[in-house]
Amino acid sequence: MWKSGLKPICREGRRTAGKRHKSEYCTVAGKELISHKITVLAKVIDEWKEEASKGRASSRAIVIKYVQDIPSETPAFLTLRQIVAGISGETPLSRVALSVGQAIEDEVVLTQTHEEENTVYKRIEAGAKKRTSDHNRRYYSLKIAKEYIEFDRWGEKTRLHIGMKLIALCQSSVCGYPERQKNNKDAHCPAGNFCNG
């Protein structure tokens, strides 16, 4: 039996913590993976931003207008966090991409709230600390933010494009990029055949 206040470090404890949060990103292994790869992915995102801002318009370059004003560490962290969360369950790649896009959109809304309505943002921070789960904190923060600022939601297709582009950048920088097989029986895994281990 665990004593209160102690963090379980054994394998069973990590699995319990992951199930409680329904994700691996809050476990010791998930946090280690994310913290070691943020700088690598942020550097690749910076390079992509430079390249995309110089190039001609294309469907893939459209994503740049949504992420160019965000510091690269933010989408790097959010992308890695959602991928690790998706790997812990049998989550389809499209759902992970949507969750990455949604996380980026939420970050933009909260950043805009911080810039335009600083007192409201402080109220949001204080109220979010009182919430017990990530879902409740996110829901509370966005509900309050939407009352005070005007923000056009991006739409599912845009969030999907943003998520897919960031996942592709993650795959090319963090995991390597072997050829993808068309009939992949592990298609539910966000990393698919891209991750070399």
CATH code for the domain in which residue 114 is found = 1.10.1320.10
Its pTM surpasses 0.75? no
Mean pLDDT of 131-136: 85
In-domain check, residue 151 = yes
Residue 25: pLDDT over 90? no
In-domain check, residue 4 = no
In-domain check, residue 110 = yes
pLDDT for the residue numbered 60 = 61
In-domain check, residue 192 = no
pLDDT for the residue numbered 8 = 29
* Residue 99 domain boundaries: 23-175
In-domain check, residue 124 = yes
How many angstroms separate the Cα of 100 from the Cα of each of 81, 82, 128, 181? 9, 6, 21, 23
Question: Highest-confidence range of 35-39, 82-86, 125-129, 183-187, by mean pLDDT?
Answer: 125-129
Alpha-carbon gap, residue 45 to 72, rounded angstroms: 6
